[in-house]
A = this chain, B = another copy of it.
Amino acid sequence: MPKIVDAEARRLEVVEAVFRIIATDGLERASLREVADEAGLAVGSVRHYFASSDELLVHSFGVVVDRIAGRLEDAFAVVDSLEPGSTEHDAAVLTLLGQFLPLDEELAVDACVWMAFRHAARIRPVLEKEAARSHRAVAAVVGRLVMRLMPDGGSVQEHLVTEAERLLATLDGLCMHALLQPEWMTAEVCRDVLTAHLDTLVAPPSTVNVKAHRE
């Protein structure tokens, strides 16, 4: 064996460099040369760990998806362990939803990277697989959360997917606004919007509309 180097750790260092570049300069600036510079390596060294630029980006996408999904699963486990309706439960729900938002430095970087990759995946086929995995993972957690929070436990299938998508859309929209218009979108507004949404989720749906949806 050669020089002892933890290959996986090195790869992660390079990926972290990719994250920093995307967060500050955007995905289009995440070239091999820029990444190598940011990581303190030479281009050839980065290419030793990642066969191509595409592989580096796809792997980076995967890492951020795993991170976000892991945070959501952890936060959901906390929610799941608490008594529904209790103060701690509500706080845990807000904490879970806050994992989507750029509320601190680390979350902001991940949110930037996540957004950038998802939008890039619309165009670049290599990113499609990770984008689909990302969507499934997040939708699963949000779906379970909505099922837990809805008054009827999500017994009406159509209404459940509608409410899950509604929460997901609000979360992504909030995240987007927090990233793109940070001066208008403070953490306080985010919290107010989320609590307002949770209020509407708990309230029973108007029967008029449920009937309308059935037709």
Name A residues whose Cβ lies closer than 8 Å to a Cβ of B.
25-26, 28-29, 115-116, 118-123, 131, 135, 139, 158, 161-163, 165-166, 168-174, 176-177, 179-181, 184-185, 189, 192-193, 195-197, 199-200, 203, 205-206, 209, 212-213
Given known contacts A195-B209, A209-B199, A172 and B168 CB-to-CB distance under 8 angstroms: no
Contacts of A184 in B (CB 8 A): 135, 139
Instruction: Check B122–A180 contact: CB distance below 8 A.
Output: yes
Choose from B118, B162, B179, B181 the contact partner of A196 (Cβ within 8 Å): B162
Q: Give Cα A184–Cα B136 distance, bound, in whole angstroms.
A: 10
28 contacts between A and B (CB under 8 A): A26-B120, A26-B122, A26-B123, A28-B28, A29-B123, A118-B180, A119-B119, A122-B180, A131-B180, A162-B189, A162-B192, A162-B196, A165-B177, A166-B193, A168-B177, A169-B169, A169-B173, A169-B174, A169-B176, A171-B173, A172-B172, A172-B173, A172-B176, A173-B173, A173-B174, A196-B205, A199-B205, A199-B209
A-B complex: 9 closest residue pairs judged by Cβ atoms? A169-B173, A200-B200, A173-B173, A172-B173, A26-B123, A162-B192, A166-B193, A169-B174, A170-B170
A167 → B minimal CB distance (Å): 9
Q: Which residue of B lies closest to A112 (CB)?
A: B122
Contacts of A196 in B (CB 8 A): 162-163, 166, 205, 209
A169 → B minimal CB distance (Å): 3
A111 → B minimal CB distance (Å): 11
Instruction: Check A172–B163 contact: CB distance below 8 A.
Output: no
Choose from B118, B120, B181, B199 the contact partner of A206 (Cβ within 8 Å): B199
Q: Give Cα A115–Cα B180 distance, bound, in whole angstroms.
A: 11
Contacts of A135 in B (CB 8 A): 181, 184
A173 → B minimal CB distance (Å): 3
A189 → B minimal CB distance (Å): 6
Contacts of A120 in B (CB 8 A): 26
